[in-house]
């Protein structure tokens, strides 16, 4: 069976990359997420936006640690990709919860 170069799991960012691109994109996602979540800490429900912001920051720190500690290869790249997607999902879910609660008041 031949590998399909157009398959998502066959892309260079998940097979041969150093992981730097995941840190760059993850840093951008983290910056945007914190820029949205930090002002929301003043909105109800109390602590939700702050918890989301802390989770986002922690996930990015975990990305940096993984890039340093885990040997180069597919495992590290998949972990970095998953962490970046988790950052995005955490930010969206947190912002949605806070925005929904704020509109109900």
Q: Is there a domain that residue 79 lies in? A: yes
Domain annotation covers residue 73: yes
H, E, C per residue of 54-101? HHHHHHHHHHHHHHHHCCCCHHHHHHHHHHHHHHHHHHHHHHHHHHHH
The range of the structural domain enclosing residue 62 comes to: 57-105
What's this model's pTM, rounded to 2 decimal places?
Answer: 0.86
How many domains is the chain partitioned into structurally? Answer: 1
**pLDDT tens per residue across span 49-90:** 999 999 999 999 999 999 999 999 989 999 999 999 999 999
Residue at 68 is within a domain: yes
């Amino acid at each position: 069976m031949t590998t399909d170069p157009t398959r998502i799991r066959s892309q260079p960012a998940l097979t041969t990359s150093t992981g730097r691109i995941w840190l760059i994109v993850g840093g951008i996602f983290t910056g945007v997420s914190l820029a949205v979540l930090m002002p929301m800490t003043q909105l109800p429900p109390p602590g939700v936006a702050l918890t989301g912001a802390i989770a986002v920051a922690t996930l990015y720190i975990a990305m940096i640690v993984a890039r340093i500690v885990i040997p180069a290869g597919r495992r590290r790249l998949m972990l970095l990709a998953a962490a970046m997607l988790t950052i995005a999902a955490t930010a969206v879910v947190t912002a949605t919860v806070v925005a929904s609660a704020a509109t109900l008041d």
